[in-house]
Amino acid sequence: MYLSWVFLGISAFSLTVLSVSVDQCSKAQVQPPFEFLTLTRNWPPTLCLGNQKVLTSKSCRIPEDVNTWTIHGLWPDREKSPDINNCLPQQQFDYDKIKDIENELKRTWPSFSMPNHIFWEHEWCTHGSCLQDCAELKGEENYFRKTIELHKNYSIDMALKSASILPGIEYSLSYITKAIYNAFKMDPIVQCLTVNNTEYLAEIRICFQKDFTLMNCPVTKLEGTHACGPANLIYYPEMHHI
């Protein structure tokens, strides 16, 4: 499956700082056509908890200007395997093409476990390269701009706040899922991280048809390792900065 948690996938690609702005993406295999799009957002304090195993202001290195849910990625998806990634081996990642939106990417699409440009390169090569038949996502700048647009238009922060779901409190899975449904009129996928028998709200995914119309996320996309226990309360940790 995808790198569902950035902190679990660090070893999957090099952390070496690139000396050039253009890098060849991974060699692709024969890929099936995608059926829908999945927009995945992460809650930064839980990412830090996954990295550090301790949720404190000292260990949770979240920049001051990051105060909301952040983007993990916009992914081409299918209801059943095989997954779709690493398409177009001839496709290159050109960092210069996203320099104009770098500051916005740092706020909305940051990485807390590796250099940002390495994370963005990974998302482009693994997922964005498989969406180049879609005019609105064609090229690095369009892919990242469109994803940021969807992130803002379908704000997880506003959806949760509208249901009075605030950090620092525990909630049931059904209450969180209902809040997202009420905001967007679709069934999301909610993922958790379990540490010391406590489930932490970690990731929320919403799904789109190819024309960017919202749709219910297929239940087949629930990942067992990070699925939230329906009978357990889920802790929504507070934000901590450097």
CA distances from 158 to 6, 45, 70, 148, 190 (A): 24, 18, 13, 15, 16
- Tell whether 15 is covered by a domain: no
CA distances from 193 to 117, 189, 236 (A): 25, 14, 11
| pLDDT at 9 (0 to 100) | 36
Bridge partners (DSSP) of residue 40 are 73, 205
CATH of the domain at 103: 3.90.730.10
| pLDDT at 225 (0 to 100) | 58
Structural domains counted in the chain: 1
- Tell whether 82 is covered by a domain: yes
- Tell whether 174 is covered by a domain: yes
This prediction has a pTM of 0.85
Instruction: Yes or no: say if 72 and 41 are a contact pair by the CB < 8 Å rule.
Output: yes
Residue 189's domain spans which residues? 6-10+21-236
Residues of the chain with pLDDT under 50: 1-20, 54-58
Q: Alpha-carbon distance 38 to 190, whole Å?
A: 12
- Tell whether 224 is covered by a domain: yes
Q: Alpha-carbon distance 43 to 223, whole Å?
A: 17
- Tell whether 241 is covered by a domain: no
| pLDDT at 5 (0 to 100) | 42
- Tell whether 69 is covered by a domain: yes
| pLDDT at 23 (0 to 100) | 62
